[in-house]
Structure 1
């Protein structure tokens, strides 16, 4: 058996050059069919929305901006375990761990915390895998309709803890959407 006759899918077909008829050579039938499709679309309902005045409804599984949660006492939940960064397919999350001191007991839950936690919003694909991987339920993708702000430099798209961690009041009242 020759290598040319082997097909892994079993759907191998030989290509032949078929002679075209007169009507196929002048493409008149295909042009008329294409024009009929175009004319049909003229009379359909338009799906364009006027964005600033009208907004689209979001899907129920919509995932918006990230937020780092606090517990009931207002302490940060993140323990810098790095599972969210490992789960991120776009490698958008970076963090540096630090140890909690005695005067920081009211700020962090565990002995280890994320001193630096950054998400590069230019790389993030909003897949939600970081949310699924977090064992402490520290990171969530909200259902808020806020979008990443427009900027002209790359540094403005790197969200640090100053933009990600929710306020103490919102953490106690469980308002983060």
Structure 2
């Protein structure tokens, strides 16, 4: 009998407290810095894509939400430093469970997850993101692919020495000079 009154005590205690209501669309709350939201395909400092079309992210996805089709680079049209690039890349956010296994499987650190989390729409087709929607924006000093490699002569210069290129503040200036 005493337990029933304890339960009613909790109910009556919360009944007269002020209700906490978040005004979501108007009062946008920022996420934590390491929050995993929407995916992003990253670029090298000269603008070439990091994705080499290996399809490991699609194999690692437990929800089968990723579709990748690799294409071959040519000297006339180079999208990534390697022999291949992801010519078709799609993520179906109707199926994605946000686990991040695709990010862990990516050997070139091309695929990451950003803080953006507003993934709701009234059209199912709009929730299938294509490569153009997933690509990171071009920063100053980057050139829209396809273009020749600017940071070295082979893919080893991009993938082995990439941290040095990314940390060097003069890389953007060097890329701009080579583009001109």
Aligned partner of residue 139 in structure 2, secondary structure: helix
Q: How does 1:10-159 map to 2 (within 5 A)?
A: 32-105=5-78, 107-143=79-115, 145-152=116-123, 154-159=124-129
Match of 1:8 in 2: none
Q: Which moved more, 1:49-58 or 1:82-91?
A: 49-58
1:4-51 CA distance string (max 9 Å, x none): xxxxxxxxxxxxxxxxxxxxxxxx766544432211112334332122
Relative to the length of structure 2, the TM-score reads 0.69
Query: How much does 1:55 deviate?
Result: 3.1
Distance 1:123-1:134 versus aligned 2 partners, 3 A rule:
same
Count of aligned pairs between the two proteins: 143
Unaligned runs of 5+ in 1: 1-27
Query: Which residues of structure 2 form unaligned runs of 5+?
Result: 143-165, 167-180
The higher radius of gyration belongs to 1
* Distance (whole Å) between structure 2 residues aligned to residue 171 and residue 94 of structure 1: 30
Supply the distance in 2 between the matched residues of 1:74 and 1:50 (Cα, whole angstroms): 39
- Alignment partners' CA distance in 1, 2:131 and 2:11: 51
Instruction: Identify the residue that residue 168 of structure 1 maps to in structure 2.
Output: 138
Q: C-alpha offsets along residues 122-143 of structure 1, whole Å, 9 cap, x if unaligned?
A: 1111122111111101011012
Deviations 1:75-98 (A, max 9, x none): 011011111112112111011111
Offset at residue 170 of structure 1 (A): 6.5
Q: Secondary structure at the match of 2:67?
A: strand
RMSD value, Cα? 2.3
